[in-house]
Structure 1
Amino acid sequence: MTALADALIAARRSNRTLDAAPWTDALQDAAQAYEVQDAVAAALDWFGDEGAVPGHWKSGGGSRSVTLTHAPLPPSGVRQSPANFDDLVFHTPGIESEIALRLGQDVTLEQAAKLDHDNSGSLIDAMAVSIEIVDSRWQDLASTPALLRLADSQVHGALVLGEWQPYAAIDWASQRCETRIGDGEVVVREGTHPLADPAWLLPIWLRHITRHGQTARAGTVVTTGSWVGVLPCRRGDQVTAEFAGIGAVRLRV
Protein backbone atom coordinates (compact mmCIF):
# COMPACT_ATOMS: atom_id res chain seq x y z
CA MET A 1 0.00 0.00 0.00
CA THR A 2 2.84 2.38 0.81
CA ALA A 3 4.29 1.98 -2.66
CA LEU A 4 0.90 2.64 -4.25
CA ALA A 5 0.39 5.75 -2.14
CA ASP A 6 3.86 6.97 -3.09
CA ALA A 7 3.09 6.41 -6.78
CA LEU A 8 -0.17 8.37 -6.58
CA ILE A 9 1.49 11.17 -4.63
CA ALA A 10 4.23 11.44 -7.25
CA ALA A 11 1.66 11.37 -10.07
CA ARG A 12 -0.25 14.26 -8.52
CA ARG A 13 2.87 16.30 -7.87
CA SER A 14 4.12 15.86 -11.42
CA ASN A 15 0.67 16.05 -13.10
CA ARG A 16 1.08 12.73 -14.86
CA THR A 17 -0.86 9.48 -15.08
CA LEU A 18 -0.01 5.91 -14.14
CA ASP A 19 -0.36 2.54 -15.83
CA ALA A 20 -2.69 0.53 -13.58
CA ALA A 21 -1.40 -2.88 -14.70
CA PRO A 22 1.52 -3.14 -12.22
CA TRP A 23 -0.83 -2.23 -9.36
CA THR A 24 -3.73 -4.56 -10.12
CA ASP A 25 -3.18 -6.71 -7.03
CA ALA A 26 -1.88 -3.99 -4.73
CA LEU A 27 -5.10 -3.72 -2.70
CA GLN A 28 -7.15 -6.47 -1.12
CA ASP A 29 -10.17 -4.53 0.10
CA ALA A 30 -11.77 -1.10 0.46
CA ALA A 31 -10.19 -0.52 3.87
CA GLN A 32 -6.76 -0.57 2.25
CA ALA A 33 -7.95 1.80 -0.48
CA TYR A 34 -9.12 4.25 2.18
CA GLU A 35 -5.72 4.01 3.87
CA VAL A 36 -4.13 5.04 0.57
CA GLN A 37 -6.58 7.95 0.30
CA ASP A 38 -5.52 9.12 3.76
CA ALA A 39 -1.81 8.73 3.00
CA VAL A 40 -2.08 10.78 -0.20
CA ALA A 41 -4.06 13.52 1.55
CA ALA A 42 -1.55 13.68 4.42
CA ALA A 43 1.47 13.83 2.10
CA LEU A 44 -0.07 16.63 0.05
CA ASP A 45 -1.31 18.46 3.18
CA TRP A 46 -4.84 18.77 1.87
CA PHE A 47 -6.56 19.15 5.23
CA GLY A 48 -3.98 20.56 7.63
CA ASP A 49 -5.40 19.76 11.07
CA GLU A 50 -4.58 16.08 11.53
CA GLY A 51 -7.52 14.14 12.91
CA ALA A 52 -10.20 16.59 11.79
CA VAL A 53 -12.92 15.42 9.41
CA PRO A 54 -12.45 17.09 5.98
CA GLY A 55 -15.09 19.63 5.04
CA HIS A 56 -16.08 18.28 1.59
CA TRP A 57 -16.77 14.72 0.41
CA LYS A 58 -18.10 12.66 -2.44
CA SER A 59 -20.19 9.60 -1.69
CA GLY A 60 -22.41 7.23 -3.60
CA GLY A 61 -22.81 4.12 -5.66
CA GLY A 62 -24.60 2.67 -8.66
CA SER A 63 -27.61 1.45 -6.66
CA ARG A 64 -28.80 0.80 -3.13
CA SER A 65 -27.72 -2.83 -3.41
CA VAL A 66 -24.01 -2.11 -3.85
CA THR A 67 -21.43 -0.98 -1.30
CA LEU A 68 -21.23 2.82 -1.33
CA THR A 69 -17.83 4.48 -1.63
CA HIS A 70 -16.54 7.75 -0.23
CA ALA A 71 -13.63 10.17 -0.71
CA PRO A 72 -12.59 13.46 0.94
CA LEU A 73 -12.10 16.29 -1.54
CA PRO A 74 -9.04 18.58 -1.59
CA PRO A 75 -10.10 22.15 -0.78
CA SER A 76 -8.17 23.66 -3.70
CA GLY A 77 -10.62 22.09 -6.15
CA VAL A 78 -13.84 23.06 -4.35
CA ARG A 79 -15.26 26.29 -5.75
CA GLN A 80 -18.46 28.29 -5.91
CA SER A 81 -20.32 28.82 -9.16
CA PRO A 82 -19.42 30.33 -11.55
CA ALA A 83 -16.03 28.64 -11.43
CA ASN A 84 -12.97 28.55 -13.66
CA PHE A 85 -10.41 25.72 -13.58
CA ASP A 86 -7.77 27.05 -15.96
CA ASP A 87 -5.24 26.72 -13.13
CA LEU A 88 -5.77 22.98 -12.57
CA VAL A 89 -4.51 20.08 -14.67
CA PHE A 90 -7.02 17.47 -15.87
CA HIS A 91 -6.17 14.41 -17.93
CA THR A 92 -9.48 12.94 -19.18
CA PRO A 93 -12.15 15.03 -17.46
CA GLY A 94 -15.84 14.19 -17.31
CA ILE A 95 -18.90 15.89 -15.89
CA GLU A 96 -21.33 14.64 -13.25
CA SER A 97 -24.41 16.70 -12.36
CA GLU A 98 -25.30 16.20 -8.71
CA ILE A 99 -27.02 17.44 -5.58
CA ALA A 100 -24.83 18.35 -2.59
CA LEU A 101 -26.05 18.23 1.00
CA ARG A 102 -24.74 20.16 4.03
CA LEU A 103 -24.80 19.08 7.66
CA GLY A 104 -26.69 21.44 9.94
CA GLN A 105 -25.20 20.05 13.16
CA ASP A 106 -22.23 18.13 14.51
CA VAL A 107 -22.44 14.34 14.26
CA THR A 108 -20.39 12.09 16.54
CA LEU A 109 -19.39 8.47 16.07
CA GLU A 110 -22.06 7.44 18.59
CA GLN A 111 -24.77 9.44 16.84
CA ALA A 112 -23.79 8.11 13.42
CA ALA A 113 -24.06 4.52 14.66
CA LYS A 114 -27.74 5.06 15.49
CA LEU A 115 -28.77 6.64 12.20
CA ASP A 116 -31.01 5.01 9.64
CA HIS A 117 -32.34 6.05 6.25
CA ASP A 118 -35.51 7.52 7.78
CA ASN A 119 -34.06 9.76 10.47
CA SER A 120 -30.79 11.04 9.00
CA GLY A 121 -32.38 13.70 6.80
CA SER A 122 -33.04 15.82 9.87
CA LEU A 123 -29.29 16.43 10.14
CA ILE A 124 -29.20 18.31 6.82
CA ASP A 125 -29.89 22.03 6.73
CA ALA A 126 -29.24 22.86 3.07
CA MET A 127 -28.84 21.49 -0.44
CA ALA A 128 -27.27 22.86 -3.61
CA VAL A 129 -26.76 21.92 -7.23
CA SER A 130 -23.20 20.72 -7.80
CA ILE A 131 -21.01 19.58 -10.66
CA GLU A 132 -18.16 17.20 -10.05
CA ILE A 133 -15.36 17.11 -12.58
CA VAL A 134 -14.17 13.52 -12.47
CA ASP A 135 -10.60 12.84 -13.45
CA SER A 136 -8.07 10.11 -12.79
CA ARG A 137 -4.41 9.52 -12.20
CA TRP A 138 -4.86 6.21 -14.07
CA GLN A 139 -4.15 6.16 -17.81
CA ASP A 140 -6.91 3.76 -18.88
CA LEU A 141 -9.75 4.32 -16.45
CA ALA A 142 -12.08 1.83 -18.13
CA SER A 143 -9.71 -1.04 -17.37
CA THR A 144 -8.65 0.16 -13.92
CA PRO A 145 -9.91 -2.01 -11.02
CA ALA A 146 -12.49 -0.45 -8.69
CA LEU A 147 -10.17 -0.50 -5.66
CA LEU A 148 -7.52 1.48 -7.53
CA ARG A 149 -10.15 4.02 -8.52
CA LEU A 150 -11.23 4.28 -4.91
CA ALA A 151 -7.64 4.76 -3.74
CA ASP A 152 -7.35 7.63 -6.23
CA SER A 153 -10.02 9.69 -4.41
CA GLN A 154 -12.68 7.78 -6.34
CA VAL A 155 -11.33 9.57 -9.47
CA HIS A 156 -12.20 13.05 -8.26
CA GLY A 157 -11.01 16.13 -10.11
CA ALA A 158 -12.87 19.16 -8.76
CA LEU A 159 -16.24 20.28 -7.38
CA VAL A 160 -18.43 23.30 -8.08
CA LEU A 161 -21.24 24.27 -5.71
CA GLY A 162 -24.26 26.43 -6.43
CA GLU A 163 -26.21 28.58 -3.98
CA TRP A 164 -27.42 26.80 -0.88
CA GLN A 165 -31.16 26.32 -0.48
CA PRO A 166 -33.09 25.09 2.57
CA TYR A 167 -33.15 21.30 2.49
CA ALA A 168 -36.44 19.60 1.76
CA ALA A 169 -37.29 15.96 1.07
CA ILE A 170 -38.79 16.67 -2.34
CA ASP A 171 -40.21 14.31 -4.95
CA TRP A 172 -36.88 13.14 -6.33
CA ALA A 173 -38.57 10.73 -8.73
CA SER A 174 -39.86 13.67 -10.75
CA GLN A 175 -36.85 15.98 -10.28
CA ARG A 176 -35.61 17.32 -13.63
CA CYS A 177 -31.92 17.87 -14.37
CA GLU A 178 -30.54 19.65 -17.45
CA THR A 179 -26.83 19.61 -18.33
CA ARG A 180 -25.08 21.30 -21.21
CA ILE A 181 -21.42 21.04 -22.22
CA GLY A 182 -20.05 23.56 -24.69
CA ASP A 183 -22.27 23.86 -27.77
CA GLY A 184 -23.67 20.37 -27.34
CA GLU A 185 -27.31 19.49 -26.90
CA VAL A 186 -28.87 19.77 -23.48
CA VAL A 187 -28.85 16.42 -21.67
CA VAL A 188 -32.17 16.06 -19.85
CA ARG A 189 -32.76 13.55 -17.06
CA GLU A 190 -35.68 13.11 -14.68
CA GLY A 191 -35.67 11.07 -11.50
CA THR A 192 -32.38 9.37 -12.37
CA HIS A 193 -30.47 9.53 -9.10
CA PRO A 194 -28.96 6.03 -8.67
CA LEU A 195 -30.11 5.82 -5.04
CA ALA A 196 -33.56 7.35 -5.80
CA ASP A 197 -32.96 9.89 -3.01
CA PRO A 198 -29.65 11.73 -2.50
CA ALA A 199 -30.15 11.66 1.29
CA TRP A 200 -30.34 7.85 1.36
CA LEU A 201 -26.56 7.62 1.66
CA LEU A 202 -26.33 9.83 4.76
CA PRO A 203 -26.12 7.18 7.51
CA ILE A 204 -23.58 5.13 5.53
CA TRP A 205 -21.44 8.16 4.71
CA LEU A 206 -21.58 9.53 8.27
CA ARG A 207 -20.53 6.22 9.77
CA HIS A 208 -17.60 6.19 7.36
CA ILE A 209 -16.32 9.68 8.10
CA THR A 210 -16.62 9.28 11.89
CA ARG A 211 -15.25 5.72 11.95
CA HIS A 212 -12.01 6.68 13.69
CA GLY A 213 -13.83 8.54 16.46
CA GLN A 214 -13.83 12.01 14.91
CA THR A 215 -16.84 14.31 14.89
CA ALA A 216 -18.27 15.51 11.59
CA ARG A 217 -18.81 19.22 12.08
CA ALA A 218 -21.81 21.29 11.07
CA GLY A 219 -21.19 22.66 7.60
CA THR A 220 -19.58 19.47 6.28
CA VAL A 221 -20.66 18.94 2.65
CA VAL A 222 -21.22 15.75 0.64
CA THR A 223 -21.99 15.53 -3.07
CA THR A 224 -24.19 12.54 -3.62
CA GLY A 225 -23.87 10.93 -7.04
CA SER A 226 -24.50 11.70 -10.68
CA TRP A 227 -27.87 12.03 -12.37
CA VAL A 228 -26.25 11.86 -15.83
CA GLY A 229 -23.53 9.25 -15.48
CA VAL A 230 -20.22 10.71 -16.68
CA LEU A 231 -20.41 13.09 -19.64
CA PRO A 232 -17.11 13.66 -21.50
CA CYS A 233 -15.78 17.20 -21.74
CA ARG A 234 -12.67 19.03 -22.92
CA ARG A 235 -10.49 21.78 -21.57
CA GLY A 236 -12.11 25.14 -22.17
CA ASP A 237 -15.68 23.81 -22.27
CA GLN A 238 -18.35 25.89 -20.60
CA VAL A 239 -20.63 23.62 -18.56
CA THR A 240 -23.98 24.30 -16.92
CA ALA A 241 -26.22 22.12 -14.80
CA GLU A 242 -29.69 23.09 -13.64
CA PHE A 243 -32.08 21.27 -11.33
CA ALA A 244 -35.57 22.72 -11.65
CA GLY A 245 -36.68 24.42 -8.45
CA ILE A 246 -33.28 24.02 -6.75
CA GLY A 247 -30.76 26.02 -8.76
CA ALA A 248 -27.98 25.96 -11.33
CA VAL A 249 -24.19 26.00 -11.54
CA ARG A 250 -21.76 27.07 -14.24
CA LEU A 251 -18.09 26.35 -14.79
CA ARG A 252 -15.27 26.43 -17.31
CA VAL A 253 -13.22 23.25 -17.43
Structure 2
Amino acid sequence: MMSEDKIAAAARLLSEARTPGQALETFPTDLAPDDEAEALAMHERVVTARGPVVAWKVGAPTPAAEPGYGMIADATFSVGPTRIPAGALRLWAVEAEIAVTLGQDLPDRAEPYAQDEVLAAVKDWRAAIEVLDTAFVNWASTPGLWRLADGMSHGALIVGPPCGLPSGALATLPVTLEIGGETIFAHEGGNTGGDPARLLTALANLRRGTARPLRAGDVVTTGSATPFHRASGGQAVRAYFDGLEAAELTIEP
Protein backbone atom coordinates (compact mmCIF):
# COMPACT_ATOMS: atom_id res chain seq x y z
CA MET A 1 0.00 0.00 0.00
CA MET A 2 1.27 3.45 -0.89
CA SER A 3 1.45 5.87 1.99
CA GLU A 4 -0.40 9.15 1.42
CA ASP A 5 1.83 10.84 4.00
CA LYS A 6 4.97 9.62 2.25
CA ILE A 7 3.72 10.77 -1.17
CA ALA A 8 2.78 14.20 0.17
CA ALA A 9 6.12 14.61 2.00
CA ALA A 10 8.17 13.58 -1.05
CA ALA A 11 6.21 15.88 -3.34
CA ARG A 12 6.64 18.78 -0.95
CA LEU A 13 10.39 18.13 -0.68
CA LEU A 14 10.81 17.98 -4.46
CA SER A 15 8.73 21.10 -5.05
CA GLU A 16 10.63 23.11 -2.45
CA ALA A 17 13.98 22.03 -3.93
CA ARG A 18 13.21 23.41 -7.37
CA THR A 19 14.52 26.90 -8.17
CA PRO A 20 14.75 29.17 -6.23
CA GLY A 21 14.95 26.57 -3.45
CA GLN A 22 18.01 24.67 -2.29
CA ALA A 23 18.79 21.71 -4.56
CA LEU A 24 18.89 18.28 -2.90
CA GLU A 25 22.35 16.75 -2.51
CA THR A 26 21.09 13.30 -1.45
CA PHE A 27 18.16 10.99 -2.13
CA PRO A 28 16.25 10.62 1.19
CA THR A 29 15.89 6.88 1.81
CA ASP A 30 12.73 7.24 3.89
CA LEU A 31 10.94 9.03 1.04
CA ALA A 32 12.39 7.07 -1.87
CA PRO A 33 9.65 5.73 -4.19
CA ASP A 34 9.33 1.96 -3.85
CA ASP A 35 8.15 1.40 -7.41
CA GLU A 36 6.96 3.16 -10.54
CA ALA A 37 3.39 3.48 -9.28
CA GLU A 38 4.52 5.31 -6.14
CA ALA A 39 6.90 7.51 -8.13
CA LEU A 40 4.08 8.41 -10.50
CA ALA A 41 1.82 9.30 -7.57
CA MET A 42 4.54 11.65 -6.29
CA HIS A 43 4.97 13.00 -9.82
CA GLU A 44 1.26 13.78 -10.14
CA ARG A 45 1.28 15.58 -6.79
CA VAL A 46 4.32 17.66 -7.80
CA VAL A 47 2.86 18.63 -11.18
CA THR A 48 -0.71 19.38 -10.11
CA ALA A 49 0.59 21.65 -7.35
CA ARG A 50 1.81 23.90 -10.19
CA GLY A 51 -1.60 24.06 -11.86
CA PRO A 52 -4.02 22.12 -14.08
CA VAL A 53 -2.58 19.46 -16.38
CA VAL A 54 -2.68 20.76 -19.97
CA ALA A 55 0.07 18.73 -21.63
CA TRP A 56 1.92 15.43 -21.48
CA LYS A 57 5.38 14.09 -22.30
CA VAL A 58 6.03 10.55 -23.48
CA GLY A 59 9.18 8.74 -24.53
CA ALA A 60 11.08 5.47 -24.52
CA PRO A 61 14.75 4.44 -24.53
CA THR A 62 14.36 2.18 -27.59
CA PRO A 63 11.75 1.68 -30.35
CA ALA A 64 10.67 -1.58 -28.68
CA ALA A 65 10.64 -0.39 -25.06
CA GLU A 66 7.49 0.34 -23.09
CA PRO A 67 7.09 4.13 -23.02
CA GLY A 68 7.09 6.21 -19.87
CA TYR A 69 5.21 9.44 -19.51
CA GLY A 70 4.77 12.57 -17.45
CA MET A 71 2.24 15.33 -16.86
CA ILE A 72 2.81 19.03 -17.60
CA ALA A 73 0.98 21.84 -15.82
CA ASP A 74 -0.16 25.07 -17.41
CA ALA A 75 2.44 27.01 -15.42
CA THR A 76 5.30 25.42 -17.38
CA PHE A 77 3.67 25.36 -20.82
CA SER A 78 3.64 28.10 -23.45
CA VAL A 79 2.75 28.60 -27.11
CA GLY A 80 4.74 30.77 -29.48
CA PRO A 81 7.98 32.70 -28.85
CA THR A 82 8.66 32.58 -25.12
CA ARG A 83 11.02 34.42 -22.80
CA ILE A 84 12.10 32.85 -19.49
CA PRO A 85 14.58 34.38 -17.02
CA ALA A 86 17.75 32.34 -16.59
CA GLY A 87 17.18 32.26 -12.84
CA ALA A 88 13.83 30.52 -13.20
CA LEU A 89 15.38 27.11 -13.89
CA ARG A 90 18.48 25.25 -12.77
CA LEU A 91 19.49 22.76 -15.44
CA TRP A 92 18.67 24.47 -18.75
CA ALA A 93 19.05 21.32 -20.84
CA VAL A 94 17.06 21.78 -24.06
CA GLU A 95 15.74 19.24 -26.57
CA ALA A 96 13.84 19.42 -29.88
CA GLU A 97 10.61 17.40 -29.98
CA ILE A 98 7.50 16.81 -32.09
CA ALA A 99 4.27 17.72 -30.30
CA VAL A 100 0.59 17.42 -31.19
CA THR A 101 -2.61 19.08 -30.05
CA LEU A 102 -5.58 16.77 -29.66
CA GLY A 103 -8.89 17.79 -31.21
CA GLN A 104 -10.93 14.97 -29.70
CA ASP A 105 -11.20 13.23 -26.33
CA LEU A 106 -9.72 9.74 -26.03
CA PRO A 107 -11.93 8.52 -23.16
CA ASP A 108 -11.84 5.40 -21.07
CA ARG A 109 -13.04 2.25 -22.84
CA ALA A 110 -12.46 -1.48 -22.65
CA GLU A 111 -10.49 -2.00 -25.87
CA PRO A 112 -7.12 -0.37 -26.57
CA TYR A 113 -6.91 2.46 -29.06
CA ALA A 114 -5.38 1.65 -32.43
CA GLN A 115 -2.78 3.99 -33.86
CA ASP A 116 -5.04 5.19 -36.69
CA GLU A 117 -7.74 6.14 -34.14
CA VAL A 118 -5.26 8.17 -32.10
CA LEU A 119 -3.86 9.94 -35.16
CA ALA A 120 -7.41 10.77 -36.26
CA ALA A 121 -7.86 12.61 -32.93
CA VAL A 122 -4.87 14.89 -33.62
CA LYS A 123 -5.83 18.48 -34.43
CA ASP A 124 -2.38 19.83 -35.33
CA TRP A 125 1.34 19.14 -35.24
CA ARG A 126 4.00 21.42 -33.76
CA ALA A 127 7.73 21.70 -33.18
CA ALA A 128 8.55 21.89 -29.49
CA ILE A 129 11.38 22.71 -27.12
CA GLU A 130 11.42 20.89 -23.82
CA VAL A 131 13.67 22.32 -21.13
CA LEU A 132 14.76 19.78 -18.54
CA ASP A 133 15.16 20.78 -14.92
CA THR A 134 15.85 19.09 -11.60
CA ALA A 135 15.45 19.30 -7.85
CA PHE A 136 18.83 17.63 -7.36
CA VAL A 137 22.41 18.89 -7.29
CA ASN A 138 23.65 16.05 -9.51
CA TRP A 139 20.95 15.34 -12.09
CA ALA A 140 23.11 12.84 -14.00
CA SER A 141 23.30 10.48 -11.02
CA THR A 142 19.64 10.81 -10.01
CA PRO A 143 17.92 7.37 -9.95
CA GLY A 144 15.16 6.83 -12.48
CA LEU A 145 12.33 6.63 -9.95
CA TRP A 146 13.40 9.90 -8.35
CA ARG A 147 13.49 11.55 -11.79
CA LEU A 148 9.95 10.33 -12.45
CA ALA A 149 8.79 11.62 -9.08
CA ASP A 150 10.51 14.95 -9.78
CA GLY A 151 8.13 15.83 -12.61
CA MET A 152 10.05 13.51 -14.96
CA SER A 153 12.76 16.20 -15.01
CA HIS A 154 10.43 18.66 -16.72
CA GLY A 155 11.17 22.36 -16.57
CA ALA A 156 9.27 23.99 -19.43
CA LEU A 157 7.61 23.13 -22.74
CA ILE A 158 7.42 25.65 -25.57
CA VAL A 159 5.53 24.77 -28.74
CA GLY A 160 5.56 26.46 -32.12
CA PRO A 161 2.69 27.39 -34.45
CA PRO A 162 0.11 24.76 -35.44
CA CYS A 163 0.86 22.88 -38.66
CA GLY A 164 -0.54 19.99 -40.64
CA LEU A 165 0.87 16.47 -40.55
CA PRO A 166 4.38 16.64 -42.03
CA SER A 167 5.06 14.63 -45.15
CA GLY A 168 7.42 11.72 -44.82
CA ALA A 169 8.03 9.32 -41.97
CA LEU A 170 7.80 10.96 -38.54
CA ALA A 171 10.58 8.74 -37.18
CA THR A 172 13.09 10.13 -39.70
CA LEU A 173 11.85 13.70 -40.06
CA PRO A 174 14.82 16.08 -40.40
CA VAL A 175 15.27 18.20 -37.25
CA THR A 176 17.44 21.18 -36.34
CA LEU A 177 18.23 22.57 -32.90
CA GLU A 178 19.87 26.00 -32.74
CA ILE A 179 21.27 27.70 -29.64
CA GLY A 180 22.67 31.21 -29.70
CA GLY A 181 22.46 31.30 -33.48
CA GLU A 182 24.59 28.15 -33.83
CA THR A 183 23.29 24.85 -35.19
CA ILE A 184 23.90 22.32 -32.44
CA PHE A 185 22.16 19.31 -34.00
CA ALA A 186 20.85 18.75 -37.54
CA HIS A 187 19.95 15.22 -38.55
CA GLU A 188 17.15 12.91 -39.65
CA GLY A 189 15.06 11.38 -36.89
CA GLY A 190 16.84 10.74 -33.63
CA ASN A 191 13.94 9.88 -31.31
CA THR A 192 15.18 6.99 -29.15
CA GLY A 193 11.60 5.71 -28.85
CA GLY A 194 11.22 5.43 -32.62
CA ASP A 195 8.01 6.55 -34.30
CA PRO A 196 6.28 9.41 -32.42
CA ALA A 197 2.93 7.93 -33.49
CA ARG A 198 3.76 4.76 -31.52
CA LEU A 199 4.56 6.79 -28.44
CA LEU A 200 1.40 8.89 -28.76
CA THR A 201 -0.73 5.76 -29.07
CA ALA A 202 0.95 4.17 -26.08
CA LEU A 203 0.21 7.25 -23.96
CA ALA A 204 -3.46 7.21 -24.99
CA ASN A 205 -3.70 3.61 -23.82
CA LEU A 206 -1.72 4.16 -20.63
CA ARG A 207 -4.17 6.90 -19.63
CA ARG A 208 -7.26 5.13 -20.99
CA GLY A 209 -8.18 3.43 -17.72
CA THR A 210 -7.50 6.40 -15.44
CA ALA A 211 -9.59 9.23 -14.03
CA ARG A 212 -7.75 11.63 -16.35
CA PRO A 213 -7.52 10.20 -19.88
CA LEU A 214 -6.35 12.35 -22.78
CA ARG A 215 -8.76 15.15 -23.71
CA ALA A 216 -9.36 17.52 -26.59
CA GLY A 217 -7.02 20.48 -26.19
CA ASP A 218 -4.25 18.47 -24.54
CA VAL A 219 -0.78 18.86 -26.01
CA VAL A 220 1.46 15.79 -26.13
CA THR A 221 5.19 16.05 -26.80
CA THR A 222 6.52 12.78 -28.13
CA GLY A 223 10.10 12.50 -26.91
CA SER A 224 13.36 14.11 -27.87
CA ALA A 225 14.56 13.98 -31.47
CA THR A 226 17.93 15.41 -30.40
CA PRO A 227 20.27 14.77 -27.50
CA PHE A 228 19.88 17.41 -24.83
CA HIS A 229 22.24 20.36 -24.83
CA ARG A 230 22.85 22.89 -22.05
CA ALA A 231 21.87 26.47 -22.81
CA SER A 232 22.43 29.61 -20.73
CA GLY A 233 21.23 33.13 -20.07
CA GLY A 234 21.25 35.49 -23.03
CA GLN A 235 20.87 32.72 -25.61
CA ALA A 236 18.01 32.11 -28.04
CA VAL A 237 16.89 28.54 -28.74
CA ARG A 238 15.07 27.41 -31.91
CA ALA A 239 13.84 23.93 -32.79
CA TYR A 240 12.23 23.02 -36.09
CA PHE A 241 11.45 20.04 -38.31
CA ASP A 242 10.77 19.76 -42.03
CA GLY A 243 7.14 20.82 -42.38
CA LEU A 244 6.88 22.25 -38.84
CA GLU A 245 7.54 25.91 -38.03
CA ALA A 246 10.06 26.69 -35.31
CA ALA A 247 9.48 26.70 -31.58
CA GLU A 248 11.39 29.64 -30.11
CA LEU A 249 12.73 30.37 -26.63
CA THR A 250 14.82 33.25 -25.33
CA ILE A 251 16.64 32.76 -22.02
CA GLU A 252 16.86 36.17 -20.45
CA PRO A 253 20.17 36.98 -18.71
Question: Which category describes the TM-score, using the shorter chain as reference length?
Answer: 0.7 to 0.9
Q: Is 1:214 aligned to residue 218 of structure 2?
A: no
Letter in 2 for 1:82: P
Distance 1:5 1:158, change over 3 A: same
Name the residue aligned to 1:124.
122
| Residues 234-253 of structure 1: pairs in structure 2 closer than 5 A | 234-253=232-251
Shift of 1:159: 0.8
Distance 1:173 1:215, change over 3 A: closer
Q: Do the aligned residues in 2 keep the contact of 1:59 with 1:201 (CA within 8 Å)?
A: yes
| Residues 1-253 of structure 1: pairs in structure 2 closer than 5 A | 1-2=6-7, 3-12=9-18, 14-23=20-29, 26-42=32-48, 44-47=49-52, 54-86=53-85, 89-110=88-109, 113-167=111-165, 170-253=168-251
Letter in 2 for 1:247: E
Query: Identity across aligned pairs (percent)?
Result: 28
- d(CA) in 1 for partners of 2:91 and 2:39? 22
- d(CA) in 2 for partners of 1:130 and 1:184? 18
- d(CA) in 1 for partners of 2:45 and 2:242? 39
1:39 is paired with a residue of what secondary structure?
A: helix
Letter in 2 for 1:105: Q
Count of residue correspondences? 245
Distance 1:130 1:25, change over 3 A: same
RMSD after superposition: 2.2
- d(CA) in 2 for partners of 1:143 and 1:251? 27
Q: Do the aligned residues in 2 keep the contact of 1:20 with 1:144 (CA within 8 Å)?
A: no
Shift of 1:110: 0.5
TM-score (normalised: structure 1):
0.87
Shift of 1:225: 0.7
1:15 is paired with a residue of what secondary structure?
A: coil
Distance 1:192 1:4, change over 3 A: same
Q: Do the aligned residues in 1 keep the contact of 2:167 with 2:243 (CA within 8 Å)?
A: no
Distance 1:181 1:13, change over 3 A: closer
- d(CA) in 2 for partners of 1:87 and 1:194? 28
Q: Do the aligned residues in 2 keep the contact of 1:24 with 1:145 (CA within 8 Å)?
A: no
Letter in 1 for 2:133: D
Q: Do the aligned residues in 2 keep the contact of 1:108 with 1:213 (CA within 8 Å)?
A: no
Structure 2 unaligned residues grouped into runs of 5+:
1-5
1:73 is paired with a residue of what secondary structure?
A: strand
